[in-house]
Amino acid sequence: MKPAMENRAKVDPLSVEDEDLVQILSHVVQEVKDSVGRDINGTYVLHGLLNTPWLQSLLKVYECLQQYLRNSATPYLPYASGLTLEILSDLRALPYPSYEARELYCLLMEPHMQALLSAHDVVGLKDYEPVLPPLPEDLANNEEAMRIVCMVKNNQPLGATIRRDEMTGEIYVARVIHGGLADRSGLLHAGDRLVEVNGHPVFGLEPEQIIKILAHSHGTVMFKVVPITDRPINNKTMLFVRAMVDYNPHQDPGIPCVDAGMAFRKGNLLEIVDQTDALWWQAKKLPCSSTCAGLIPSACMLKRKLKEFWWSQPHTCNKILSTVDEEDDMMAIDVSIVETDEEAFESEELKEDESEFSTSVDGIYLAGFRRSLRVCRRRRAQGGVSGLIRPLCCSSSLTGPYEEVVRYQRHPEDTHRLIALLGPSGVGVNELRRKLIEINPRTFLGPTPHTTRPRKMYEEPRREYHFLSRDQFENMVHNNRFVEYGEFRGHLYGTSVDTVKDVLAAGKICIIDIDPYAIASVRTPELKAYIIYIKPPPLAQMKRTRINAQVTNYCSSRPFKDEDFYEIEEAGCRMEQHYGQFFDHVIVNDGLQSSCVRLMAAVRRAQEEPQWVPASWIKPAEET
């Protein structure tokens, strides 16, 4: 340690500020390191301490501040305005002023120039603090520290709410809205006791009376407050959530201040900026256009409201909050049509034309477009299936009223995100999926489905279907190995998680179409599905664009009828209403070509650009 002591002795303590502290520290670290080698007690600890990044950063900050103090700008003249006045009077005294003298005179007489020089003097003399009168000497010991807050009212609200303590009659600032006028002033805080507003004592007044005083005051508003001593700290920052329900403060009698409330729709992304109140959070809607936050119920409060609402209603949720628990008639189709077509389908199925289904592009077979799989889906939606069918799951049971989300950017070496298309039957989900795969079969692929139906002569195992026994299929069902499955006419059909993973593992973008009930199976950390909703265009446009299109009705094709369009529109509305919160992207399927182009662009963005995903997909396993 001796050399270090010597080094330290050489440093003049008065000039430490001017020395390069980091340099000194590195000398000390070197000395301590040498001492560690010589095993001197305590040097390990000291060595560790001196090497800590925070100490190094602190010293760097210190040095920067010193440098700033040394190099900070100083005024060239302390009294530029005074000098200007002298010059002006000299110029005025000139009997025959030259052109330059006249120009200088005009320049210095300019109000802007005078204001600039005066500002220069104020800054130069650091003369911007108000001169406070001396404190009276006879202050009582128990005198409360008051703060006088002046705010200039513009068109914005003040951004603070007040409450009355019913026991004492005192008025308190209940809440300061994040980003509002009061918050930006930094002078008013929740818990501050209000003593006067514009000179009116407020003790014992009703909050409404105080609001009236505020409403009638123009320009500057002056508050006299006793500041809160222990301010609660909002330590939970950077929380982003996706709303899973709709909320309207104007229809919520429980909100403390309707005007401060913020309405949101399911699927909206919210940044929670303040969670100090366990019941009412403050949030901003993303993308954010306003600086001011709004009041929303906290997660536990909203859960409670949902429960209360659920019990108070005969299972309709469209007033204050709409939930998604009612979905039993989703995608229902006309039972009579199904029953009449069923027999026909039985015989037609046997006549399935190989060419219709054995589509292949570039030698790659396009699996998963078989009619029986899709028909089985319609049957399931209609509720006419039996046996193993997984019950439709309620989307609100998948998550709470808010789902925490984070920004996720897929690493180029990671497998692609699964692309799941969703839309009302007949809107063109299959057509778009087929087109995408046909255009670029080396990039996009669908998984080969599984079935328990017997293989037909022209079919090859693992090409049209993976053929399984019923036992094998049921075993997979019980092990949750299916993204979705269903039963039709005694045969089971399904898409397994493993076939999807196989496509992804082969480096391709797996593109599937799903029913709403399969949303939970694909929104998983391993598949990270990006859900694209294929939305029907407005009726007139739908009719116009489908003039030459055929609707596939189980065993036959026919032109679209008006009823088909109404059905698609209605089913689409219900799907959006119930599942809109899960849509990552929406494509209106108007023109086929343009929809396809937009779909391709959306898929590219999903793979290459940062997206909001559930935080549970990204957090380490132990945290989820």
Residue 204 is which amino acid? G
Stretch that binds ligand ATP, among 286-294, 355-363, 437-445, 547-555 (CB under 6 A): 547-555
| Spatial distance between the Cα atoms of 326 and 303, rounded to a whole number of angstroms | 17
297 interacts with ligand ATP by CB under 6 A: no
CB of 588 to ligand ATP, least distance (A): 9
Tokens of 12: 């003049």
Residue number, 180 or 428, with CB nearest to ligand ATP: 428
Q: 497: left (phi > 0), else alpha (psi -120 to 50), else beta? A: alpha
Out of 373, 595, 598, 606, the only residue in the binding site for ligand ATP (CB under 6 A) is 595
Residue 477 is which amino acid? V
Beta-strand ranges (E) seen in 298-359 are none
Report CA-CA distances (Å) from 138 to 47, 131, 142: 54, 21, 12
Residue number, 81 or 358, with CB nearest to ligand ATP: 358
**Position of tokens 């366990």?**
278
Report residue 36: phi and psi, to 5°.
-60, -40
Q: Of 499-528, which residues contact ligand ATP (CB under 6 A)?
A: none
Out of 36, 551, 586, 588, the only residue in the binding site for ligand ATP (CB under 6 A) is 551
Out of 242, 370, 374, 450, the only residue in the binding site for ligand ATP (CB under 6 A) is 374
Residue number, 330 or 427, with CB nearest to ligand ATP: 427
CB-CB contact of 51 with 25 (8 Å): no
CB-CB contact of 585 with 421 (8 Å): no
CA-nearest of 490, 492, 453, 460 to 476 is 492
Spacing of C-alpha 385 from chain mean position: 39
CB of 614 to ligand ATP, least distance (A): 27
Stretch that binds ligand ATP, among 179-187, 190-198, 588-596, 606-614 (CB under 6 A): 588-596
β-sheet with 419-422: strand ranges across: 444-445, 509-513, 419-422, 530-535, 585-588
Count of residues touching ligand ATP (by CB under 6 A):
19
545 interacts with ligand ATP by CB under 6 A: yes
Residues 143-182, one symbol each (x = binds ligand ATP by CB under 6 A, - = not), give ----------------------------------------
Burial 237-262 (b: 16+ CB within 10 A, else e): eebbbbbbbbbbbeebeebebeebbb
598 interacts with ligand ATP by CB under 6 A: no
Sign, Cα dihedral of 429, 618, 287, 156:
positive
CB of 435 to ligand ATP, least distance (A): 9
CB of 537 to ligand ATP, least distance (A): 8
Q: CA torsion, points 114, 117, 119, 125, in degrees to nearest 10?
A: -140
| Spatial distance between the Cα atoms of 144 and 140, rounded to a whole number of angstroms | 9
Residue number, 263 or 586, with CB nearest to ligand ATP: 586
| Spatial distance between the Cα atoms of 360 and 527, rounded to a whole number of angstroms | 26
Residue number, 179 or 426, with CB nearest to ligand ATP: 426
CB of 331 to ligand ATP, least distance (A): 10
Q: CA torsion, points 376, 381, 387, 389, in degrees to nearest 10?
A: 100
Q: 315: left (phi > 0), else alpha (psi -120 to 50), else beta? A: left
Residue number, 246 or 590, with CB nearest to ligand ATP: 590
Out of 180, 368, 401, 423, the only residue in the binding site for ligand ATP (CB under 6 A) is 423
CB of 430 to ligand ATP, least distance (A): 3
CB of 605 to ligand ATP, least distance (A): 21
| Spatial distance between the Cα atoms of 414 and 422, rounded to a whole number of angstroms | 24
Stretch that binds ligand ATP, among 181-189, 272-280, 321-329, 590-598 (CB under 6 A): 590-598
Spacing of C-alpha 169 from chain mean position: 41
CB-CB contact of 270 with 244 (8 Å): no
CA-nearest of 190, 191, 201, 206 to 224 is 201
Residues 524-543, one symbol each (x = binds ligand ATP by CB under 6 A, - = not), give --------------------
Stretch that binds ligand ATP, among 27-35, 174-182, 495-503, 545-553 (CB under 6 A): 545-553
Residue number, 187 or 549, with CB nearest to ligand ATP: 549
Residue number, 32 or 418, with CB nearest to ligand ATP: 418
425 interacts with ligand ATP by CB under 6 A: yes
Out of 592, 600, 602, 618, the only residue in the binding site for ligand ATP (CB under 6 A) is 592
CB-CB contact of 332 with 574 (8 Å): no
| Spatial distance between the Cα atoms of 279 and 295, rounded to a whole number of angstroms | 10
CB-CB contact of 392 with 330 (8 Å): yes
Out of 584, 589, 606, 615, the only residue in the binding site for ligand ATP (CB under 6 A) is 589
Q: Which residue is nearest to ligand ATP (CB)?
A: 428
Residues 377-416, one symbol each (x = binds ligand ATP by CB under 6 A, - = not), give ----------------------------------------
Spacing of C-alpha 590 from chain mean position: 29
CB of 546 to ligand ATP, least distance (A): 5
Out of 549, 586, 602, 618, the only residue in the binding site for ligand ATP (CB under 6 A) is 549
CA-nearest of 197, 260, 190 to 228 is 190
Q: Of 426-455, which residues contact ligand ATP (CB under 6 A)?
A: 426-431
370 interacts with ligand ATP by CB under 6 A: no
Stretch that binds ligand ATP, among 143-151, 575-583, 591-599, 612-620 (CB under 6 A): 591-599
Stretch that binds ligand ATP, among 8-16, 96-104, 114-122, 419-427 (CB under 6 A): 419-427
Residue number, 159 or 428, with CB nearest to ligand ATP: 428
Residue number, 234 or 545, with CB nearest to ligand ATP: 545
CB-CB contact of 158 with 214 (8 Å): yes
Stretch that binds ligand ATP, among 337-345, 418-426, 494-502, 574-582 (CB under 6 A): 418-426
CB of 492 to ligand ATP, least distance (A): 18
Would you tell me which residues interact with ligand ATP (CB under 6 A)?
374, 423, 425-431, 545-546, 549-552, 589, 591-592, 595
